[in-house]
Amino acid sequence: MQMQSDKIRAKESKIQDLQRTIQADQQRRLQSSTRLREQEIRHREQERSMRDLQAQLDQLTKNLSDSYQRTEQLERAWKESTEEVAKLRQQSSVHKVDDNTLKATYGEVIYSVGNWASNYCGGRDASFHEADLLPLKSLTRHYRQYVSSEVLRPVLIQSLVMRMLVENILYSGSELNGLLWAGRLSPGLRLVQKALQFGDGYATQELLMTGQIRQSQVQEYSAWKAKSAILVAEVATEPDIDLLITGMQDRFRERLSPFVTCKKSEVWTDLREIIQTTVRLDKEIHMSRALFTFDRWSGPEEGGLGFEFDEEISASAQGFEPAKFGMKVELVVAPFFMKTGTGDGDAYETNLYLSKCVVVCTESRRKLENF
């Protein structure tokens, strides 16, 4: 009886063990099934992500292709626009010149003239005939002191050359001088311009303020002046311009030869380059609708003291001690360069000094002599 009971318990124990094994196996199968489902879900999510990434890549590729096409279109449009603007600029009656360009060009002329006078008109023991000194008398009453000094003489000759450049090239009120850039058309253009113009910036402003002319008249003249300069410059030939520059160079050479103390071969070549730069400045000035003035000379008729030094519009010449307000100016080395109105052809009531008047004051000259 006991043995039978033990067998029953042993079978029950085996059954329980088998049941636990089955349950564990079922649990493992359940867990494995869960992991498979999870893996399947992750796989589907990865497939969706891959599809999304591929779609994004396709879109980026298309955008890049579109971008290349737009870039090519923009480049073509830019090139066509640039060519069109160039054509319009050639045809346009409004020639825009940056003020800094005008300042720089005029400053280059002053500097180059100063170098030319220092290089070729200095030195000791220079002697001159009385007749040679006549052009200097209109510059300052102290011209003999300047001529006799190896330090001061180049400054006086610089003043003489600058006055010749202004009067013969940059002054537009003469029927004989200026407009060299117009070549063979310059005589006719000078005649018409002299007949139509109202004067320099100061004169024009005075006429406007007194009601003798209207703003519209100044605008019409300035537009004609600029357009005429543009059209004439297009047809003027280099041989004709060179011929006029050579003639001007010969006139300068005749006047300045007595003061040249250094007989280097390049003396007149260097002077020709200065004349060419001045002619280029004159052309730019005439192509603008603004008005320009070169002014403020002193002379013996005023006792050699044309005006008091004013740092707002005046600057001391290179090599001289800076002048102070109220000092007496005895020599103008270079006149001031003033712009009236704008390049668009308006605001003629306004003035802008592009370059100050370069001067020597009596006190500064005496200090240099006593140094």
* Alpha-carbon span 168 to 170, nearest angstrom: 6
Residues 6+ apart with CB under 8 A from 291: 200, 201, 204, 222, 339, 340, 341, 348
347: left (phi over 0), alpha (psi -120 to 50) or beta: left
pLDDT at residue number 32: 74
- Tell me if 275 sits within 8 A of 169, measured CB to CB: yes
SS3 state of residue 26 = helix
pLDDT in tens, the chain (371 residues): 666 676 777 777 777 777 777 777 778 777 777 777 877 788 788 888 788 878 887 887 787 777 767 767 766 766 665 565 455 445 454 567 789 999 999 999 999 999 999 999 988 777 888 898 999 998 999 999 999 998 999 999 999 999 999 999 997 666 667 899 999 999 999 888 888 888 777 788 888 888 898 989 989 999 999 999 999 999 999 999 999 999 999 999 999 999 999 888 899 999 999 999 999 999 999 999 999 988 866 444 444 456 789 888 899 998 899 999 889 999 999 999 999 998 888 888 899 999 999 999 999 998 888 76
Residue 209 backbone dihedrals phi, psi, to 5 degrees: -65, -35
Residue at 85: amino acid letter:
V
pTM assigned to the model:
0.72
Residue 361 backbone dihedrals phi, psi, to 5 degrees: -95, 155
Residues 6+ apart with CB under 8 A from 334: 110, 113, 158, 159, 162, 355, 357, 358
Angle at 321 between CA 319 and CA 327, to 5 degrees: 125
SS3 state of residue 353 = strand
> What are the b/e assignments for 229-267, b being 16+ CB within 10 Å?
bbebbeebeeebbeebbeebbeebeeebebbbbeeeeeb
Residues 6+ apart with CB under 8 A from 267: 116, 119, 120, 260
* Alpha-carbon span 163 to 170, nearest angstrom: 10
- Tell me if 189 sits within 8 A of 227, measured CB to CB: no
Exposed/middle/buried for residue 24 (C-beta within 10 Å: 0-12, 13-18, 19+): exposed
Residues 6+ apart with CB under 8 A from 185: 232, 235, 236
pLDDT at residue number 299: 46
For residue 338, give Cα distances in angstroms to 103, 140, 176, 293, 355.
Answer: 10, 23, 23, 5, 7
